[in-house]
Amino acid sequence: MRVLGRVVSYFVLVLIGVLGLAPFVYLLVLSFKSQLELLDVPPSLHFDWATIKENYSTVIHDQQYPTFVKNSIIVTGVSTLVALALGVPAAYAFSRLRFRGSDTWGSTILSFRFMPPIAVAIPIFLMIQQLDLVNSYFGLVLPYIAFTLPLVIWIMIGFFDEIPREIDEAALVDGLTRPQVLFRVLLPLVRPGILVAATFGIIFIWNEFLVGLFIISSTDRETIPIAASSLLTVESPIQYNLAAVVGVLTVIPVLFFAILVQRYIVRGITAGAVR
């Protein structure tokens, strides 16, 4: 009976795993095919190294893929770092200090995150236009910080709340100022939280498409998601195999990153506020 139970549960888990992986496998397979092979019925699993090389080198060399990666890294990195730099101290303040409206603001901040990006995409575009930042890194970074900040603050409040206030108080009595308490004592303690917040931020910004589409108008400023979509829409006929290559190359960095930090994410999610 127990054995049967195990068999069933493993079967279900494997099924879920296969269902989850299938799109990625399909994407990978597509990226290995030539334009003609895509139409094979039934689809074959015959791969040709020359085709693979050609697909990938086309995307990497002819399609300015390194530029897109560079753009994505710059925009994601800067936005995430700034959001953390602002959000972590803000979360500390929300967790520890009582000030006018601190409770109200604490919950209001999260509600900003509920707003669908499409609702704010056009106003944001107009504001960025007013600032004369259209088609610039800065024009992307600003809204991305705004999107990420509430998330960072909210996650970090949870982590700070779990550290007993007495630790702060002990540090104050030991001779630290408030900011020193944060930087010298608490930051090492909330490191898992920072990693969780950074991961959520990075994944969101890396994948963000809508706002980017409004703000970026030239190919050399495109981030990977925007570049991938223009590949599908601009080129004619649509080269699905090349689009798939872009897809694969887009997923790989995030995938590696996720594998790298997953230990912290799991710990962070179970320990922190994101439950």
Binding site for other proteins (CB under 8 A): 98, 164, 166-167, 169-177, 180, 185, 188-189
Reading phi first (left if > 0) and then psi (alpha if -120 to 50, else beta), residue 175 is in left
- Closest separation in Å from C-beta 101 to other proteins: 14
Residue 222 belongs to what H/E stretch?
none
Residues 6+ apart with CB under 8 A from 167: 185, 186, 189
Peptide bond into 23 cis (omega under 30): no
- Residue nearer to other proteins on the CB measure, 50 or 97: 97
- Closest separation in Å from C-beta 178 to other proteins: 9
- Closest separation in Å from C-beta 100 to other proteins: 11
- Residue nearer to other proteins on the CB measure, 115 or 167: 167
- Closest separation in Å from C-beta 105 to other proteins: 17
- Residue nearer to other proteins on the CB measure, 171 or 211: 171
List the helix and strand counts (H, then E) for the chain.
13, 0
Taking a C-beta distance cutoff of 8 angstroms, is the pair 241, 249 a contact? no
- Residue nearer to other proteins on the CB measure, 67 or 180: 180
- Closest separation in Å from C-beta 240 to other proteins: 51
- Closest separation in Å from C-beta 164 to other proteins: 6
Residue 97 belongs to what H/E stretch?
none
- Residue nearer to other proteins on the CB measure, 42 or 164: 164
DSSP 44: P
Residue 234 belongs to what H/E stretch?
helix 224-234
Report d(CA 18, CA 21) in Å as an integer.
5
- Residue nearer to other proteins on the CB measure, 126 or 167: 167
